[in-house]
């Protein structure tokens, strides 16, 4: 027939598109199967919690160091918030577990995925700590005895022998709220007092009324 050489064969476009859709759906299904399979599922739920936590942090609903406790929690973290270190470990463990589940074909080899993921997370946290030690300045945490001899500002309506709080400033400019006690009258909110002793048993500072003009740590005007 004339012009038959120019006739292009019919292509079932809808069928091709359907195949692409099924292939894409298969990839998503495979990802979900791996993410919800053992042992990746253990870290998948933890990863959701971590993502939710950092979302709340970005929105200003909570501080980065909200779950940092006392000296025992801060020890050995090189100034890095505990939540950041835990988040790093969870992300690394999740990626290793997901990759292991996707790449390892033999079922008996998948037994090693969980310890490998935990080991990789541990190594990642140690590397993070080493980098922090090298790149970040050492964190100076003032001891309680460091505040003895300093002037504080009373933050409660009154201070008595069994009640009272005050705000004290360290050398680096940071402030801390401490428990204070006194047997003298006249200390109210906004008053200045001198910290002259620390009671280790009661975990509070003993204070006395003080003239702010005599404070040696007061910045010169």
CA distances from 100 to 7, 121, 123, 160, 216 (A): 50, 14, 17, 63, 62
pLDDT of residue 146: 82
pLDDT of residue 12: 46
pLDDT of residue 131: 85
Q: Model's pTM, two decimal places? A: 0.47
For CATH 2.40.50.140, the residue range(s) in the chain are 144-214
By three-state DSSP, how is residue 107 classified? Answer: helix
Q: In CATH, what class is 144-214?
A: mainly beta
To the nearest whole number, what is the mean pLDDT of the chain?
76
pLDDT of residue 76: 45
Q: What are the pLDDT digits (tens) for 19-31? A: 444 455 567 777 7
Residue 16 banded pLDDT, cuts 50, 70, 90: very low
5-19, 89-103, 136-150, 171-185, range with the lowest pLDDT: 5-19
Q: Write out the two tokens for 39.
A: 């042992």
11-20, 54-63, 86-95, 127-136, range with the lowest pLDDT: 11-20
pLDDT of residue 41: 84
More confident residue, 133 or 15: 133
Contacts of 2 (CB under 8 A, 6+ apart): none
**Nearest Cα residue to 164 out of 174, 176, 150, 154:** 154
Q: Is the dihedral of CA 32, 36, 38, 42 positive or negative?
A: positive
Q: What are 178's strand-pairing partners?
A: 166
The span from the CA of 209 to the CA of 187, in Å, is: 7
By three-state DSSP, how is residue 207 classified? Answer: strand
**C-beta separation of 148 from 205 below 8 A:** yes
Question: Exposed/middle/buried for 151, CB within 10 Å: 0-12, 13-18, 19+?
Answer: buried
Q: What are 176's strand-pairing partners?
A: 168
pLDDT of residue 68: 54
pLDDT of residue 39: 78
Q: What are the pLDDT digits (tens) for 30-89? A: 777 777 777 788 888 988 998 988 888 788 666 555 555 444 344 445 567 788 888 999
How many CB atoms within 10 Å of residue 156?
16
The span from the CA of 53 to the CA of 42, in Å, is: 17
Q: What are the pLDDT digits (tens) for 185-211? A: 889 999 999 999 999 888 899 999 988
Residues composing the chain = 221
Q: Write out the two tokens for 76.
A: 């050995």
Q: Write out the two tokens for 15.
A: 């069928």
- What is the largest distance, in Å, between two alpha-carbon atoms of the chain? 116
What whole-number percentage of the chain has pLDDT above 90? 26
**C-beta separation of 94 from 114 below 8 A:** no
Whether 137 has a pLDDT exceeding 80, the answer reads no
Q: Can you tell me the mean pLDDT for 137-146?
A: 62
pLDDT of residue 6: 52
* Residue located via tokens 């090693």: 112
């Amino acid at each position: 027939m004339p012009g038959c050489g120019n006739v292009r064969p019919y292509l079932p476009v809808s069928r091709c598109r359907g195949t692409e859709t099924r292939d894409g759906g298969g990839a998503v299904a495979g990802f979900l199967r791996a993410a919800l399979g053992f042992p990746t599922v253990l870290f998948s739920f933890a990863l959701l919690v971590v993502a939710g936590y950092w979302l709340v942090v970005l929105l200003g609903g909570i501080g980065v160091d909200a779950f940092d406790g006392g000296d025992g929690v801060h020890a050995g973290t090189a100034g890095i918030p505990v939540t950041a270190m835990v988040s790093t470990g969870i992300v690394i463990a999740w990626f290793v577990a997901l990759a292991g589940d996707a790449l390892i074909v033999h079922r008996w080899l998948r037994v090693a995925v969980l310890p490998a993921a935990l080991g990789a997370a541990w190594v990642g946290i140690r590397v993070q700590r080493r980098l922090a030690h090298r790149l970040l300045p050492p964190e100076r945490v003032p001891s309680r005895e460091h505040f003895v001899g300093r002037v504080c500002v009373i933050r409660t309506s009154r201070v008595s022998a069994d009640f009272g709080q005050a705000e004290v400033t360290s050398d680096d400019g940071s402030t801390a709220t401490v428990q204070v006690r006194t047997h003298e009258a006249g200390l109210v909110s906004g008053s200045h007092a001198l910290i002259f002793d620390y009671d280790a048993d009661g975990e509070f500072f003993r204070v006395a009324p003080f003239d702010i003009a005599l404070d040696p740590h007061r910045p010169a005007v």
